[in-house]
Structure 1
Amino acid sequence: MRNVILQEWVTIDGYAAGPNGELDFFPAPELSKDSDEDIFGFMDNIDTILLGAVTYHMFADYWPQATTDMEIIADRLNSTLKFVFSRTLKQAPWGKWQPATVISADAVEAVRDLKQQPGKDMVLWGSISLAQSLMKADLIDEYHLRVCPSVLGTGKALFPSELARPQMKPIDTRTYESGVILLRYESV
């Protein structure tokens, strides 16, 4: 069975976005080279990217035009199969690359089905609402949290109080030059 790996950038106080969805707590790109190299290597283990509609729009505005001299993972990310979960989108173009497939059916059931198909693992980037739905359904197999050296005080929590606390076992921890700390956990 394929795993679903949630990779999320969060603040020290657990927010995945500011109150209005802002992501200005990420480290400056010039400080992220070592973290980007880890993500590049991680992509050997996946063949599918899962996105919600909001994250799809953010990604589609940037990644299809990105090149490897700008972002080491650009070609890998752009050529990887993508599914966008949305009840409003009809199509999800990706520049010159293969478009993402839009799934308007129930995301939990669709991901359950995808997990049963042959292939490598799947990664869910961003997409807080989708991530929380999959957490509630116990469909997240690993959590890769990139903790940024920032505190927001308010915003969109990755683990809101109404969400049952996931049971996790630590796998790995890494510290990057930017001050970001990668915390990897598997669900138990």
Structure 2
Amino acid sequence: MKKVILDLATTLDGFIEGPNGEIDWCIMDDDMNFDDFLSGIDTIFYGRVSYDQWGHFQPDAAAGDAEQRLWAAVHSKKKYVFSSHDRQDDQATFITEDMVARVREIKQQEGKDIWLYGGASLIKTFIHAGLIDVYRISVHPIALGSGKPLFEDLKERLELKLVETRAFRSGVVQLIYERKA
């Protein structure tokens, strides 16, 4: 069965974006091997706002080869967009109802794992519904003091098991957790 993987950057104080939605603090080091992560997925889950912002993003023509390859790899994946409004899009399937049932159905399909891209509202919904199998959290060496927290309005404890830790040159530490059975 496919796994839903939340791959996300956070600050030391637990924010996934700054108070004005900024993510300029995110570091992308070449030793993070994001290409390896992308090769292990074949599907991306987006919220509508994140999809509108990033689902069709094309890097500037002056961007380096690595960035061009990264975005080509992202855009090669099957995309699902969770939204309250249906929309026709040649590059994505919009899911407007029965989210939990649809996610479970998609997880049963053959293929590689699924990246839960976000945004914050969709991530919160997936956390509360228990739909995330792997939390791959990259903690960045910065504290913002305020912003959008990763774990917002939890109704009950979320118990996880640490399966791997990676440290990168930049000071980013990646923590990979699975849900406790």
TM-score interval, normalised by the smaller of the two chains: 0.7 to 0.9
Structure 2: distance between partners of 1:68 and 1:89:
35
Q: Is 1:151 the equivalent of 2:146?
A: no
Structure 2: distance between partners of 1:89 and 1:158:
27
Query: Could you tell me whether the CA contact under 8 Å between 2:128 and 2:154 is conserved in 1?
Result: no
Superposed, 1:105-116 pairs within 5 Å as 105-116=97-108
Identity of aligned residues (%): 40
Off by >2 Å, runs of 4+ in structure 1: 60-68, 106-109, 161-165
Structure 1 residue 179, shift from structure 2 partner: 1.7
Structure 1: distance between partners of 2:2 and 2:64:
28
Structure 1 residue 44, shift from structure 2 partner: 2.2
Q: TM-score, normalised by structure 2?
A: 0.88
Q: Which residue of 1 aligns with 2:170?
A: 178
Give the AA of the match of 1:46.
I
Structure 1 residue 159, shift from structure 2 partner: 0.4
Q: Which residue of 2 aligns with 1:2?
A: 2
Question: Which of the residues 85, 88, 94 maps onto 1:88?
Answer: 85
Structure 1 residue 108, shift from structure 2 partner: 2.3
Give the AA of the match of 1:176.
F
Aligned-pair RMSD on alpha carbons?
Answer: 2.1
Q: Is 1:44 the equivalent of 2:39?
A: yes
Question: Which of the residues 45, 59, 62 maps onto 2:57?
Answer: 62
1:127-184 alpha-carbon deviations (Å, 9 max, x no partner): 2211111111111100000111111111111101434231111111111122211110
Structure 1: distance between partners of 2:83 and 2:179:
26
Give unpaired runs (5+ residues) of structure 2.
none
Q: Which residue of 1 aligns with 2:15?
A: 15
SS at match of 2:123: helix
Structure 2: distance between partners of 1:88 and 1:156:
24
Q: Is 1:102 the equivalent of 2:98?
A: no
Structure 2: distance between partners of 1:77 and 1:56:
12
Change (3 A) 1:78 1:180: same
SS at match of 1:125: strand
Change (3 A) 1:170 1:80: same
Structure 1: distance between partners of 2:58 and 2:99:
24
Structure 1: distance between partners of 2:39 and 2:31:
17
Equivalent pairs counted in the alignment come to 178
Q: Which residue of 2 aligns with 1:130?
A: 122
Give the AA of the match of 1:55.
S
